[in-house]
Amino acid sequence: MKKITTLAALAASTVLSGALPAMAEYPEAPVQFVVPWPPGDFEDILTRMIAAEFQEQTGQSASVVNRPGGGDGPFPGALEVLDGPTDGSVVGSFVIGVPIVGPQIDIGMEEDSFTPVGIFLTYPFVLAASGDAGYSNMAELATYAQDNDVVLGHFGAGLTPTRASFAAAKLMGFEFADDAAFDLLDCNTLSSGDADVINTTLALIEPCLDDINVLANIGSEPIEKLDGVGTLAAQSGVNDIELWNGLFVKKGTPQEVIDVLSEIASATMASDEAQQLMAETGARVYWQGMDVSAARIETDRAKSAELDDIIAK
Amino acid sequence: MDAFLIGLESLLAPSVLIAIVIGSVGGVIIGAVPGIGPAIAIAILLPATVFLDDLVSLVLLLGVYGSSMYGGAIPAILINTPGTPVNALTTYDGYSMTRRGEASRALSLAYSASFFGGCFSIIAALIALFVFGPYLRDLGALFGQRDIMMAAILGAVLLIAAHRQTMGLAAMLFGFGFLIAMVGRQSSRKIDRFTFDIEYLYSGFNLIVVIVGIFALSQALNLMVGKDDDPPEARIAGGLLSGFKELAGKKVITLCSACYGTVMGIIPGVGEFVAQFFSYSTARTLSKEPARFGHGSSEGLIASETSNNAVPAAAMIPLLALGVPGEALTAMMMVVFFDAGIKPGPDIFENNPDFLFSLFSALLIINALVLLTLLVSTKYIAKMIYIPNRFLGAFVMILSFVGVYSIRNSLTDCVFAVIFGFIGYVLRRLDWPLVPIVLGLVLGSIILERLTAGSGQIKSAIDLINRPVSGTLFVVILLVIGFIIWTSFKNKRTEYQN
Amino acid sequence: MTAPSRSSPDLLMFEEALPYEADGSFKSECPPDSKVKVEDLFKFSRTRGDLQVSIVAAGIALFFFFFYWTQTGWENRNLPDELGSYLAHQLGLIELDGRVTRLGRILKQSWVAPMLCLLVLVPAALWNLRLSLKEHKWRKRFLLPTSAYFELTKYAAALEFVVYFIVYTILVPVLGYLVSTLLLGMLLPWRLGYRSRQWMLRSFCSSLAVVIVFRTLLQIKTPISIWLYDQLPTALRGFMLTYF
């Protein structure tokens, strides 16, 4: 019921209005990092690292709250952060879809609802096919698809990597016979024949990496682990938009909060643990501060619109 | 083989051992208190397990599940009140024995029978893992989305068929559960079902909210609105080890019941009740003293207790192998699997074989631990029977709040949980089955997800059934439906003849 | 009961059929049924409130059926133009030339699953209603009690506790988890009749135990913006928010 959340927000804002001048020392209260996905995936692991570092550095308790949106993805969790206070006690860990697709669907989010603290993770999305398929890169797939049915498996038609794949197909002159949205795409999907080409993260197909053909990787740089696999952008001419994850706070949060968070998060990303995650899984772990991130979001907005144009043609 | 050893090794972690102890002892106590059962305990513990390590949380829940039936026999035998719903049959023979003054004989029979049943199915599962495990890895490729969808549909059909006298009711409640599963919006897939543009409904109803509501909160309401029982004093005298000797004397019935329990547990949609029914009837047919059944027959007691304890371990098999839960309690545990990042399904044999061995070995240890505990402390556990119902109900209500809130940190979830609790209360008063709603939610979401994912490869209708597994399952579904129609016509005909 | 006098011999047709013992006491010819019926565990008979709830259930099913057409994307459906021939093709009856729409593209649309669900739900709900009406008429015919008043009083009693729970849910963000749980944990048993000092002590201890185990030890999440804690000085506020 909306009434309860409004009641909570009302309570929070009355506190805020009374205590604002004393906001000299952040953080004053326990901080919650909201991850709008179920626990266990990359962004969850890295956000937990950030929270642990935060707790250590500032002495204030920091916890990670998983707020999975079920079928609706990150949006319910993002709306939670939107309903929260602007004193930096609720920080969101969002994927690119939230600032870019969020304002386009009718849920009350604007393009400037969130201020980025920084971007720290690029998911290692790839296009893969089973080992005995008749193609091992995008060009061969294009030829194959002219005469045969190729079915694409993905995590959702509205997701950035999926749209990149569709746009790439359009640019290369072929069409997927059909596509299906899965909740989990891994080795079994390919071996059981549920999809011919899948659009998934590297970690999920790790166990059978030797038996499958990775056709392309979706991002701006090739993944080191996979040598010989070109980026989708290079092979098809589509733009190099990536699926990334970053920390966000609600618009209106004081700069001081952003600075503290930025410092701690960049330290976390440079740590051995995070770098090891990168080496093992092919995810790219880095830190881009507030201004760089804001600029990147704007360019990505344009790239995303470009993808939509290509698909719609 | 190494997987087995690795599995055993991971059991030796202190947190896992503590979880085993808490799970077994806690489970016995929960089972022993009439009014709360494993469903409520698992529903409440489930959200808390997100914070615990995966093996720890699973062992905890399994401990509660497996040991509650041991504990449930205590009040069933002593005061004619089943501690858990599945101990209802035990009351017939067990309480009659108590009235004759043979309470401790009944208890020891119940314990030994339960122990045998539990261990039988666990060892059968372990042997199956050892023998078939390596081959099952290759079978993984046979199970795609469409196959699992067919398995879920089969589970649904079997569930409805198992409610012989209330099939229409079960089908309707299953339909409601399915409907609840479908509410939600998936913006990235342009799917919007029944959300009526209400923000809360965008992410749909969470399984645990519904489960805590329908099982835990409804029972809490039931207990609080009802009366306190005034159970009479029950005296337990004498040793509790005589049961084993008696068990050895009735090998055939014991083995038969254990087999029934194991087989029925594996078939999704069926459960302890049907297993008990068949084993009790068979025991009566095989027995030399059928007239004593219901009036203190040791064979009747053995039959019911062995079969209902053989079900938990066997019910894990369809969950692990196919990702399709066989009954409500295993459905709840599926949530823990997902949180642990272990995807139940055919490739579990490839990806996490040591986990499987740990699981079943832990179950074995739990059974042994429970038996030891009971042999020593039955008197004290029996005292728990006397906690007044209404106080218990209040306590369950308080516990439910923290469970529901910790899922999605949503107060609206708590309000919906209590609404589901009220609905569950109404259903309980009407004697309508509760399980179809929960399984409708679980199986329904499985069917939904697999249909969407499998739709890519479906070019025409034949693609739904032209795979080996889905084709076989489809034939089985048709056979079951045909069987249901045939028996109901047969019953109608005999009705008119009378 | 004494044996009837044999005043009119033509009424007595079969002497052996008399159920009376020689000494005049009655002995039934039907032995008592001593077999335990396991089937009794599965016995189902419709109780009093059944008709009302069946009507409500059928109403809910029809409600969803009514809103199916607007709420599931049926309006945006994407079906092939000649549905009849498409279906015939799927069943293998006729051959279509040209590009045939893949069945999968139809199945993955958002209205398909709700349609399948309603195909099961609505007939089952109406069938259940029919059975319930049959039972109700049967009871009325045999002048058995059919009033569901008692059931309604029970539902109202349960609703009272539902209200308590909802109030508790609203109180937690205001007073904090510790205080609200202690309040509910003591007021609820008091309302249920456990009013002696011993019981009050037990309620207090058990609710305190719940708070400590779940909040302090397991750190289960509870709302973080709590009005009562915000009134406290900062240091205490942080402590209370973390541990209670």
**Along the 313 residues of chain A, how does pLDDT read in single tens digits?**
444 444 444 444 434 333 333 345 777 777 889 888 876 678 888 898 888 888 888 888 888 887 776 666 788 788 888 888 888 888 999 988 888 888 887 778 888 889 999 999 988 888 999 888 888 888 888 899 888 889 999 888 878 888 899 999 988 888 888 888 887 788 888 888 888 999 988 877 887 888 888 888 888 888 777 777 888 888 888 888 888 999 999 888 888 888 888 989 889 888 888 888 887 777 888 899 889 999 999 999 998 888 888 888 7
- Output the pTM of the full model: 0.82
pLDDT digits (tens, 9 = 90+) for B264-317: 888 877 777 778 878 888 888 888 877 777 777 888 888 889 988 888 888 888
CB atoms within 10 A of CB B216: 28
Interface residues on B facing A, Cβ-Cβ cutoff 8 A: 50, 140-147, 184-191, 199-200, 202-204, 206, 338-339, 341, 343, 345-347, 350-351, 408-409, 411-412, 415, 449, 452-457, 459
Q: In this model, does residue B78 exceed pLDDT 60?
A: yes
User: At how many degrees (to 10) do helices B167-182 and B435-454 cross?
Assistant: 50
Highest-scoring range by mean pLDDT, B324-333, C12-21, C194-203:
C194-203
**β-bridge pairing A197-201 and A125-130:** antiparallel
Q: In this model, does residue B106 exceed pLDDT 50?
A: yes
Q: How confident is the model at residue C35 (pLDDT cuts 50, 70, 90)?
A: low
Q: Is the CB of C64 less than 8 angstroms away from the CB of B193? A: no
Chain A nearest CA to C101, separation (Å): 10
Q: Please report, as a single letter, which amino acid is at residue B115.
A: F
Tokens of B72: 């449930």
Chain C nearest CA to B277, separation (Å): 7
Let me know the angle formed at the C-alpha of B398 by B395 and B401, rounded to the nearest 5 degrees: 150
Question: In this predicted structure, what is the pLDDT of residue A4?
Answer: 45
Q: Is the CB of C108 less than 8 angstroms away from the CB of A180? A: yes
Tokens of B320: 């692990």
Question: In this predicted structure, what is the pLDDT of residue C205?
Answer: 92
Q: How confident is the model at residue C39 (pLDDT cuts 50, 70, 90)?
A: low
A37's CB contacts (< 8 A; 6+ apart) are A43, A44, A66, A68, A74, A77
Helix (H) or strand (E) holding A94: strand A90-95
- Please list every residue in chain A whose beta carbon sits closer than 8 Å to the beta carbon of residue B144: 189, 192-194
User: What count of Cα atoms within 13 Å lies in the side-chain half-sphere of residue C192?
Assistant: 30
How confident is the prediction for chain B on average, in pLDDT?
Answer: 83
Q: Enumerate neighbours of A (3 or more CB pairs within 8 A).
A: B, C
Question: In this predicted structure, what is the pLDDT of residue C38?
Answer: 60
Q: Enumerate neighbours of B (3 or more CB pairs within 8 A).
A: A, C
Decide: A198 and A184 in contact? Cβ < 8 Å. Answer: no
Q: Looking at the partner chain, which of B169, B195, B300 has a beta carbon nearest the beta carbon of C128?
A: B169
| Whole-number percent of chain B with pLDDT over 90 | 9
pLDDT digits (tens, 9 = 90+) for B181-226: 999 887 767 788 888 878 778 778 888 888 888 888 888 898 888 8
Cα torsion through C137, C141, C143, C145, rounded to 10: -10
| Burial class of residue B197 in the structure, from the number of CB atoms within 10 Å of its CB (0-12 exposed, 13-18 middle, 19+ buried) | exposed
Phi–psi pair at A154, nearest 5 degrees: -150, 180
Size of interface A-B (CB pairs under 8 A): 132
pLDDT digits (tens, 9 = 90+) for B431-461: 888 888 988 988 888 888 888 888 888 887 8
- Please list every residue in chain C whose beta carbon sits closer than 8 Å to the beta carbon of residue B444: 117
Question: In this predicted structure, what is the pLDDT of residue B292?
Answer: 76
- Please list every residue in chain A whose beta carbon sits closer than 8 Å to the beta carbon of residue C227: 11, 15
pLDDT digits (tens, 9 = 90+) for C152-175: 899 999 999 999 999 999 988 888
Let me know the angle formed at the C-alpha of C144 by C143 and C148, rounded to the nearest 5 degrees: 120
- Please list every residue in chain C whose beta carbon sits closer than 8 Å to the beta carbon of residue B462: 92
Chain C nearest CA to B229, separation (Å): 14
Decide: C178 and C211 in contact? Cβ < 8 Å. Answer: yes
Chain C nearest CA to B451, separation (Å): 7
Tokens of A223: 């993944």
Decide: A137 and A216 in contact? Cβ < 8 Å. Answer: yes
Size of interface B-C (CB pairs under 8 A): 233
Phi–psi pair at A62, nearest 5 degrees: -125, 130
- Please list every residue in chain A whose beta carbon sits closer than 8 Å to the beta carbon of residue C238: 28-30, 60-61
Q: In this model, does residue B350 exceed pLDDT 90?
A: no
Query: How does DSSP classify residue C42?
Result: G
- Please list every residue in chain A whose beta carbon sits closer than 8 Å to the beta carbon of residue C237: 29
**Looking at A246-255, B130-139, C59-68, C208-217, which range is the least confident one?**
B130-139
Question: In this predicted structure, what is the pLDDT of residue A22?
Answer: 38
| Whole-number percent of chain C with pLDDT over 90 | 25
CA A20/CA B43 separation, integer angstroms: 42
Question: In this predicted structure, what is the pLDDT of residue A23?
Answer: 43
Q: Is the CB of C224 less than 8 angstroms away from the CB of A61? A: no
Residue of A nearest to B409 (CA): A67
Q: Is the CB of B140 less than 8 angstroms away from the CB of A192? A: yes
- Please list every residue in chain A whose beta carbon sits closer than 8 Å to the beta carbon of residue C226: 11
CB atoms within 10 A of CB B460: 16
Q: Is the CB of A157 less than 8 angstroms away from the CB of B189? A: yes
Disruptive mutation site among A72, A107, A208 for chain B (greatest number of B CBs within 10 Å): A72
Q: Please report, as a single letter, which amino acid is at residue A179.
A: D
> Which of A247, A245, A273 is closest to A260 using CA atoms?
A247
